[in-house]
Amino acid sequence: MAIKRSAVAAFVLGALMALPVQAQEKPKELVVGIATFLSGPASVFGVPGRNAADLFFEELNAKGGILGVPVKPVYVDEGAGTNQLISEYRRVVQDQGAQVMFGAISSGSCNALAPVAEDLKVVNVMWDCGTQTIFEEGKWKYSVRTQGHAGAEMMATLLYLMKTKPDFKTIAVVNQDYAWGRESWALLQAGLKALKPDVKVVAELFPKFGAPDFSTEITRLSALRPDVVISTSWGGDLDTFVQQAAARGLLKQSTFVLPLAESSLERLGNVLPEGVIVGSRGDHYFLHPKYKNTPEMQSFVKKYKDKTGVYPIYPTFHMNQAVTGLVKAYEKASAANGGKWPSKEQVITAFEGLEFKSLTGTITIRSDHQGLEDQMLGTTKRVPEYPFAVYDKMALYPGKLVTTPVGEKSLEWFAKIKPEMVNDKSIETFDYSK
């Protein structure tokens, strides 16, 4: 009897193995969970990301969705705190069937969500966070970043500062006290030691994330009078700091360097004077000197402004890159799968080496799942066309030039940069024009 049962089992197993492998079933809809700040001071940054996602997915679905499948975005409030964010992230995947998650804005959130995505085996697109350590200190199969990281942003900032104000002697920092604020300053410090070892750091100030009052920091800076004040803060924190510093005349006392200020320009109105160095966490700017007149940019700016009443800021461009990258990854994975609907594993694999057009250039995803994007900085100028400061004296830095090479650590790379990088021939420059 045992022999007969074994024979039957072997026959069934052989028959099953002879059957063709079942294709991944095409779903009726593709649920994409999106973590962004919908509450708290960072919502001035997160809500624009959601507004842009609504526009992009609406347009995408009008064209048939992804491979003929409509996309359903589901939003998770990053402002609820890390524990709640993780819980909601899991719920959207496990209860609502999300096969893709966009997470998130905060560097701390990305660090927390990467291992959760591995556990859930869900495609996790880091659509906005900047921490450079995420792929330098860990290897995540299911996570990919569709924009640059802090290393690229801070390298471009450092190069621009050294080019436009090479003779500064003293510098101070005012950064939010969490992963992004600490890590971005560590990178800048390492680069400063390599390029300008005689510079004196007169103050390192790290107010609490979401702080409503910066009088202590401003009073100290007023007394120290550093040549340069740098702040990589963003969102409501940056707005509040700049408004309070301007009221005390601090913005005219020192050269301010605000690498994330593009998102605050319109909100700050006439508060921000001329001569402030500003950046856009990439090359994202609705007045981008190379792309402001393209049909794609003009269409997006008009639709976004009609919807929200304001101009798009860099989180909206990062959302564009995440959505576009996802579409292209699905198309690439499907093509490699004989035109069939791809699995999550095939989609994440398709991201490696992927190149796609964004509203402001070309994005390349490296083998380590890190995106390469160009970086742009400028100096504020007041013009009659807009009731807020605009970019002038712009410099565009190629992503490949300013991004830490694969396999290297950003801090170590910054520590060995050479002065000739400041004047690299690949850097493009532009002045403001209507």
SS (H, E, C) 163-227: HHCCCCCEEEEECCCCHHHHHHHHHHHHHHHHHCCCCEEEEEECCCCCCCCCHHHHHHHHHHCCC
Neighbouring C-beta atoms of residue 320, cutoff 10 Å:
24
> Mean pLDDT across the stretch 327-356?
98
Residue 88 scores a pLDDT above 90? yes
Q: pTM score, two decimals?
A: 0.91
Q: What's the confidence (pLDDT) of residue 11?
A: 42
Backbone angles phi, psi at 161, to 5 degrees: -60, -45
**Mean pLDDT over residues 287-301, rounded?**
97
Q: How far is CA 46 from CA 32, 158, 244, 317, in A?
A: 16, 27, 23, 12
For residue range 404-429, list pLDDT tens digits in order: 999 999 999 999 999 999 999 999 99
pLDDT at 8: 41
Torsion angle, CA of 337/340/343/344, rounded to 10 degrees? Answer: 90
- The pLDDT-based confidence of 20 (bands split at 50, 70, 90) is very low
Quick check: 13 pLDDT over 80?
Answer: no
Average pLDDT of every residue of the chain: 93
Q: How confident is the model at residue 315 (pLDDT cuts 50, 70, 90)?
A: very high
For residue 15, pLDDT beyond 50: no
Q: What are phi and psi of 363, to 5 degrees?
A: -105, 135
pLDDT reading at 23 higher than 60: no
Pairing of strands 375-381, 277-279: antiparallel
For the four alpha carbons of 211, 168, 180 and 271, in that order, the dihedral sign comes to positive
State the Cα–Cα distance between residues 162 and 282, nearest whole angstrom. 19
Does residue 45 or residue 67 have the better pLDDT? Answer: 67
pLDDT tier, 3 (very low <50, low <70, confident <90, very high otherwise): very low
- Give the model's pLDDT for residue 116: 98
Choice among 19-33, 101-115, 269-283 with the minimum mean pLDDT:
19-33
CA–CA gap between residue 301 and residue 71 (Å, rounded): 23
Residue 22: the pLDDT is: 42
d(CA 379, CA 164) in angstroms, rounded, equals 9
Q: Could you write out the three-class secondary structure of 267-305? A: HHCCCCCCCCEEEECCECCCCCCCCCCCHHHHHHHHHHH
Q: Which of 1-5, 11-15, 346-350 has the highest mean pLDDT?
A: 346-350
**Tens of pLDDT, residues 149-199:** 999 999 999 999 999 999 999 999 999 998 889 989 999 999 999 999 999
Name the pLDDT band for 377 (thresholds 50, 70, 90).
very high
> Looking at residue 210, what is its pLDDT?
85
CA angle 191, 193, 194 (to 5 degrees): 65
